[in-house]
Amino acid sequence: MSDQIYQIFEQQQKERGVDVEEVKLRIKQLNIETPSWGYGDSGTRFKVFQQEGVPRDPFEKIEDAAQVHKYTGNSPGVAIHIPWDKVDNYEELKQHAKEHEVHLGAVNPNLFQHDDYKFGSVTNADPAIRRKATEHLLECVDIARTVESKNLSLWFADGTNYPGQGDLRKRKHWMEECLREMYLAMDEDMRMLIEYKFFEPAFYHTELADWGMAYNMAQKLGPKAEVLVDTGHHPQGTNIEHIVAYLLDEQRLGGFHFNSRKYADDDLIAAAHNPYELFLIFYQIVQAQKDRSHGIRNNAENIAYMLDQCHNLEPKIPAMIRSITNVQTLYAKALLINLEEVNEAQEKNDILCAEHAVRKAFEFDVTPLLRVMREESGLPVDPMQAYLNSGYGEKILSRGKGGASW
């Protein structure tokens, strides 16, 4: 029956003017890095529930990440976090990844877990600590060079908890100073992805609190600096896809940290909550990609997609697989939007028709499409089931409890 279902799907799309071959090709090209830290134990401030089988070192994290790519086909990169993934020999780590048919992705400096950073890292009032933080940033540039990663992904916990605690304008300048030094150390083909966050762990002011602050920093630094959008880092109600469209137009959309949330930075499985939001984000990207082919400038073809999630309760590898397949699903749906139809309705201010032209793509069941795409790529048609059947989950239980964690 499944062949028949796909044929019907294909036929339906053809009639709508959608080229299914092109859609499949685009999904195959999707590349979503998974975060090494997402395979370790995580939790809330109240409790980290340790899971059995959690990787004990960066090498095992890569092995787990390789499983996700093996079954989904869309996650060949593994983002690393320094010093969580610090090793003596990065060459070896790189090789290890290669052997497992993945590669090392974005390098993430960590400037929030050393005691020195209690009152800030690149914004600390103490120049010695700012120096230390800058050195770590420079170290990460070196690591990136070694592991042949082109992306440096920067998230800063810097901020304050109380009015008066810090001098907001001085801190702003200190951060710029440190980042400029890092920027100058970067190779020409490297990218600095600057992340912003509404709050947490800082509860009064966060240094880079919104896209505007990250964007302005990127502009000051130069063309190698771009903005990283984490889907969980906004105030409630924020229209994220608007920010995405805005940054695309300004050619400063560097990448994404996908995850979902209902409240704050909940870091749940991508698209588990309000899946329509991720669809609408992809709608902006897909439209911008098409506009490029008509000569409109934007940077929709060079976006670094990454997951950034905490699987506090659910098993890590399956949760990553679910996240990847969710992203595939919503990207596929966005690719089914007939953009001409939307555009025509927009020009007539026919709201109901324009909205419907977008929405109906969301309503399609893309399961048959993804199934065929996977078959064509030599992948299991049901990645989750294939992983569960593989015995890998049972095998790693021998690692026991107490693996890597934040």
Of residues 189 and 236, the one with the C-beta less far from a second copy: 236
Of residues 33 and 341, the one with the C-beta less far from a second copy: 341
Contact indicator for 122, 175 with CB cutoff of 8 Å: yes
Sequence-distant contacts of 359-363: CB under 8 A, at least 24 apart: 361/279, 361/333, 361/334, 361/335, 361/336, 361/337, 362/276, 362/279, 362/333
**Shortest distance, CB of residue 100 to a second copy, whole angstroms?**
23
Of residues 98 and 297, the one with the C-beta less far from a second copy: 297
CA distance 275 to 263: 15
Give the rounded distance of the alpha carbon of 23 from its chain centre.
Answer: 21
Contact indicator for 377, 30 with CB cutoff of 8 Å: no
When binding is defined by CB under 8 A, the residue of 274, 302, 377, 389 that contacts a second copy is 274
CA distance 392 to 389: 8
Told to check if 88 binds a second copy by CB under 8 A, we report no
Q: Which helix (H) or strand (E) holds 69?
A: helix 58-72
Of residues 63 and 265, the one with the C-beta less far from a second copy: 265
When binding is defined by CB under 8 A, the residue of 3, 91, 135, 161 that contacts a second copy is 161
When binding is defined by CB under 8 A, the residue of 185, 190, 213, 386 that contacts a second copy is 213
Q: Which helix (H) or strand (E) holds 103?
A: strand 103-109
Where in 140-159 is the site for a second copy (CB under 8 A)? 157
Q: Which helix (H) or strand (E) holds 229?
A: strand 225-230
Burial degree of 57 (CB within 10 A; 0-12, 13-18, 19+)? middle
Find, among 206, 389, 227, the residue nearest to 303 by Cα.
227
Told to check if 162 binds a second copy by CB under 8 A, we report yes
Where in 101-120 is the site for a second copy (CB under 8 A)? 112-113, 115, 118-119
Told to check if 50 binds a second copy by CB under 8 A, we report yes
Stretch that binds a second copy, among 71-79, 90-98, 143-151, 243-251 (CB under 8 A): 243-251
Told to check if 291 binds a second copy by CB under 8 A, we report yes
Strands 159-160, 205-206: parallel, antiparallel or unpaired by DSSP?
Answer: antiparallel
CA distance 187 to 57: 29
**Shortest distance, CB of residue 78 to a second copy, whole angstroms?**
21
3-state helix, strand, coil in the chain (%, to 5): 50, 15, 35
Burial degree of 66 (CB within 10 A; 0-12, 13-18, 19+)? buried
Told to check if 363 binds a second copy by CB under 8 A, we report yes
Where in 182-211 is the site for a second copy (CB under 8 A)? 198-201, 203-206, 209-211
When binding is defined by CB under 8 A, the residue of 343, 386, 390, 392 that contacts a second copy is 343
Told to check if 273 binds a second copy by CB under 8 A, we report yes
Told to check if 268 binds a second copy by CB under 8 A, we report yes
Told to check if 30 binds a second copy by CB under 8 A, we report no
**Shortest distance, CB of residue 254 to a second copy, whole angstroms?**
15
When binding is defined by CB under 8 A, the residue of 342, 369, 379, 404 that contacts a second copy is 342
Stretch that binds a second copy, among 73-81, 99-107, 238-246, 389-397 (CB under 8 A): 238-246
CA distance 333 to 357: 12
When binding is defined by CB under 8 A, the residue of 21, 294, 347, 378 that contacts a second copy is 347
**Shortest distance, CB of residue 249 to a second copy, whole angstroms?**
5
